[in-house]
């Protein structure tokens, strides 16, 4: 057993080394981590993209790898910011609770002091002594009240700012920064609610994965700014398909769509029509003025209720998308 594990580790190390040398990539900590995720298939999506590029005979460049790692870092950072703000809000509410408890304790102290002063008034024969003592208690109460009001106002302001920042962070954590579409995390939440609603209404529901054809070629030839323009254009085209179609960026140049109330035939027709409209467009490089030409995308579509869960439906759509790529691209295949 131990020798088997050692052999597996040795094989993985050889695969990582061979990959870096084959693509002439620097042996940096970042590249080692990324290549480990590819070779060990702990990141299946990235491993699949690499396999597609290598099968097409295209090199894996440092720029392309950096883009993959940047997208992953963006998602991790949004999640980290969300966790940090939530912790800060918890601490702020704890401080507010402490201020409230302090105010309650101060009020109890004032009550006890007033009882003492009342007893003193009853037993004292000096009016001046009584007035001076009451004035002293009143000043102490006033000073303490002002101090508590300031503390509680500060806590309230802090909590309000944190709630506002937390709400923004939650929105940011579910929105793709480039396309303003929901991201994968938000899509999973939408899928859960739509799945329940569609089942209750006995409505059909289909899921599709779409991927921009030869996107790396656009990036390599015209640069990332143009590539970003293409991604945004595809996002807008898919987002206009139907009000009953939820669209999200699934990562990189890939999008996921959820069709509510459409069976496979209806969803396929809607997606195919969007594909044809987009393929008829022609793009121009804004910097050089040179024509980019037509840009197309391929899609894989599956019936959600033919699968036990989202993961299974995504695999089916992914397999159909792969067949669409293998079949010549710029087409929609059913899973």
Residue 16 has a pLDDT of: 86
State how far the Cα of 212 lies from the Cα of 41, in Å rounded to an integer.
23
CA atoms within 13 A on the CB side of 92: 19
Q: Are 248 and 240 in contact (CB under 8 A)?
A: no
Least confident range of 106-115, 223-232, 261-270, 279-288 = 106-115
**Sign of the CA dihedral with 68 first, then 72, 74, and 77 last:** negative
**Residue bearing the bigger pLDDT, 121 or 149:** 149
- Give how far the C-alpha of residue 55 lies from the chain's centroid of Cα atoms, to the nearest Å: 30
Q: Are 240 and 271 in contact (CB under 8 A)?
A: no
Residue 48 has a pLDDT of: 76
- Give how far the C-alpha of residue 316 lies from the chain's centroid of Cα atoms, to the nearest Å: 23
Helices (H), 23-61: 29-39, 44-55
Q: Output Rg (C-alpha) for the chain, integer angstroms.
A: 31
**pLDDT above 90 (res 264):** yes
pLDDT range class, residue 115, cuts 50, 70, 90: low
Q: What is the mean pLDDT of residues 49-73?
A: 75
CA atoms within 13 A on the CB side of 178: 25
Instruction: Find the distance separating the first CA and the last CA of the chain, reported in whole Å.
Output: 39
**Residue bearing the bigger pLDDT, 93 or 206:** 206
**pLDDT above 90 (res 39):** no
Which DSSP state fits 37? H
Least confident range of 29-33, 153-157, 290-294 = 153-157
- Two structure tokens written together for 99: 């201020």
pLDDT range class, residue 240, cuts 50, 70, 90: very high
Q: Are 211 and 271 in contact (CB under 8 A)?
A: no
Residue 248 has a pLDDT of: 95
- Provide CB contacts within 8 A for 182, sequence distance 6+: 174, 175, 176, 190, 246, 247, 248, 249
State how far the Cα of 146 lies from the Cα of 140, in Å rounded to an integer.
10
Least confident range of 8-22, 222-236, 267-281 = 8-22
Closest alpha carbon to 207 in 313, 60, 287: 313
Residue 327's alpha-carbon distances to 48, 52, 58, 209, 333, in angstroms, are 17, 14, 19, 16, 9
Residue 118 has a pLDDT of: 59
CATH topology (fold) of 184-334 = Alpha-Beta Plaits (3.30.70)
**pLDDT above 70 (res 211):** yes
Residue 333 has a pLDDT of: 96
Residue 104 has a pLDDT of: 63
Task: Give the residue numbers annotated as catalytic, written as ranges.
Answer: 253
């Amino acid at each position: 057993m131990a020798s088997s594990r050692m052999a597996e580790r040795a094989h993985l190390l050889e695969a990582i080394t061979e990959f870096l040398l084959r693509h002439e990539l620097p042996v940096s900590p970042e590249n080692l981590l990324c290549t480990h995720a590819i070779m060990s298939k702990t990141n299946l999506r990235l491993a699949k993209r690499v396999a597609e590029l290598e099968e097409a005979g295209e090199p894996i460049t440092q720029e392309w790898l950096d883009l993959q790692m940047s997208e992953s870092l963006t998602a991790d950072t949004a999640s980290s910011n969300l966790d940090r703000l939530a912790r800060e809000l918890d601490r702020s509410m704890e401080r507010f609770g402490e201020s409230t408890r302090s105010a309650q304790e101060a009020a109890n102290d004032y009550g006890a002091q007033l009882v003492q002063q009342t007893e003193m008034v009853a037993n004292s024969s000096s009016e001046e002594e009584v007035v001076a003592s009451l004035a002293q208690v009143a000043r102490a109460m006033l000073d303490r009240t002002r101090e508590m009001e300031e503390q509680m106002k500060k806590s309230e302001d802090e909590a309000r700012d944190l709630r506002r920042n937390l709400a923004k962070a939650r929105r940011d954590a579910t929105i793709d920064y480039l396309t303003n579409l929901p991201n994968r995390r938000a899509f999973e939440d939408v899928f859960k609610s739509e799945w329940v609603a569609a089942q209750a209404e006995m409505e059909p529901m289909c899921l599709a994965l779409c991927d921009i054809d030869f996107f790396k070629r656009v990036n390599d030839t015209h640069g990332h700014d143009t590539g970003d323009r293409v991604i945004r254009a595809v996002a807008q085209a898919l987002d206009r398909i139907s009000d009953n179609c939820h669209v999200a960026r699934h990562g990189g140049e890939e999008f996921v769509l959820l069709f509510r109330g459409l069976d496979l035939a209806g969803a396929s027709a809607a997606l195919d029509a969007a594909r044809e409209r987009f393929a008829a467009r022609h793009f121009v490089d804004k910097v050089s003025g040179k024509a980019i030409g037509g840009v197309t995308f391929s899609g894989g579509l599956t019936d959600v209720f033919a699968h036990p869960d989202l993961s299974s439906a995504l695999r089916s759509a992914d397999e159909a998308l792969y067949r669409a790529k293998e079949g010549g691209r710029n087409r929609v295949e059913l899973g």
